[in-house]
Amino acid sequence: MLRHVCSRVASAVIATALPLSVGVVTGAGSGSAVAGEPQPAMTVNSAKSAVPGSRFSGSAQIDGPFATRADAEADGYVDEAKAGWRDLVYHAEAGSDLREGSSWEAGDRYSRMEELKVTSRAMGGREIPVVTIKARNNPESAPTLYLLNGADGGEGEANWLKRTSAVDFYGDRIGDVNVVIPMAGAYSYYTDWQEPTSSLDTDAHGVGTTQKWETFLTQELPSPLEKHLGTTSDRRGIIGLSMSGSTSLVYAEKYPGFYSAVGAYSGCAATSGEFSRATQIVLNRGDATFNQMWGDPDGTVALENDALANADRLADQHNIYVSSATGLLGEHDVTSGDVLDGRAYEMITPLTDGFAIEAGSNVCTHLLKSATDAHGITEASNNLVYNIRETGTHQWAYWQDDMWESWPVIAAGLGLDVDEARTDAAAARTEYLQANPGRGAEGSTPVSSLPSFFDAVEQAFS
């Protein structure tokens, strides 16, 4: 009964948030993973059948990196309108980079960043852009961290590169980890779909078959990609946010031991049954249906991909960080803060969309915590850390906070020094706030912006 009521609340809350906006954005343990390809866990809850026994096995083909942005654009495998992330991979202007000890021309790629074209056999030869940030220190032994984008798969302006300081944080301040970011997969939940969808299945060349993102990310990509990076480490982590927050948890449940650390920021662990109504809201934006993705919302495949229904499987996973907030306006949502910097009219998105979606995420996260607590999966036993904030909306500024706040948990799984991780995370946050202090009391009530603010509020709630 509780599950039914809460799912209706979550569905209703998230439904009010369409169209899903990226919101206001910012500027620029123990247990190691096993090497090779993971094997799916075959033990399931008594209420469910076993996962499908046959899985595609094979290695993805990796081409690149592209030497220049012009080379990447000439290939044409990515729609240029969906490649805004290239702004962070290639130099915008000619100059001299003292840190690299070299010079470059406009359009050359940064020395430790790559755009790779990766061909998935499971998806019929579809070519997928993958961005990497190579470790600065000891790359031959550095662990690998996979970052999944949210609902638009990084194909718009909302992605790790453009909306957080991930490049500086992982690449420069940390320097001991390889980072991998797939830049496709909009509205896919990064799962294996049951049926084709004309809107989501192909690359810019029109090549591709039914989406098999789980197979690609867990079976095809890791081995050749980590070999390309040159690392011998068998430790890897994965972090998802919003849509992919549930995905990272599902992967951890299905492939125990494959990931040494897992992060889930503002996701909804529950996706099947009554919660399928909320899942469908995301799929609507991709002109797709729940049945195309997982079939019957109460069927075997749907249940196998529901992280809440399989919460007991997290008993085999260590170093997990899960976050959400209430949806109430927080430090990054107000005019005096670091993001809005006095622009009152821009409060509308976090006040409406950002509130509703995060409130739904909060319901899901509390349900997940109840489930893991009931199964004895805790911080003491598994280094499972929940960060449930009293304030905060569904937007990238809070996920950048999560990037820092989760780092000690992620670092523990990746075999890095946890005390040093805490120090680095605190320093990164301090540095960010010094560079983005906001206006304080001076910007809390900018009178010139209030007319447009109230007009926008009236329109939003009319």
Mean confidence (pLDDT) of the chain: 87
List residues bridging with 108 in a β-sheet.
68
Phi, psi of 11 (to 5 degrees): -65, -45
Residue (of 314, 325, 324, 429) closest to 383 by Cα position: 314
Two tokens, residue 75: 């290939």
Answer yes or no: are the C-beta atoms of 256 and 165 closer than 8 Å. Answer: no
Q: In this structure, which amino acid lies at residue 181?
A: I
pLDDT at position 47, please? 31
pLDDT, residue 20, reads: 31
The pTM for the full model equals 0.86
Share of the chain above pLDDT 90, in %: 75
Which residue's structure tokens are 């409130």? 359
Phi first, then psi, for residue 114 (nearest 5°) are -135, 145
Q: Residue 265: helix, strand or coil by DSSP? A: strand
Give 101-136 pLDDT, tens digit per residue.
678 899 999 999 999 999 999 999 999 999 999 999
Question: What is the arithmetic mean of pLDDT over 285-308?
Answer: 98
Q: Does domain 2-460 have CATH number 3.40.50.1820?
A: yes
User: DSSP secondary structure string, 298-334?
Assistant: TSHHHHHT-TTTTGGGGGG--SEEEEEE-SS--TTTS
Q: What's the start-to-end Cα distance of the chain, in Å?
A: 33
Which region among 135-144, 342-351, 360-369 has the lowest average model confidence (pLDDT)?
Answer: 342-351
Whether the upstream peptide bond of residue 19 has omega within 30° of 0, thus cis, is: yes
Task: Give Cβ neighbours of residue 57 (< 8 Å, ≥ 6 apart).
Answer: 37, 219
Whole-angstrom Cα distance, residue 307 to residue 222? 22
Q: What pLDDT is recorded for position 451?
A: 62
pLDDT at 187: 98
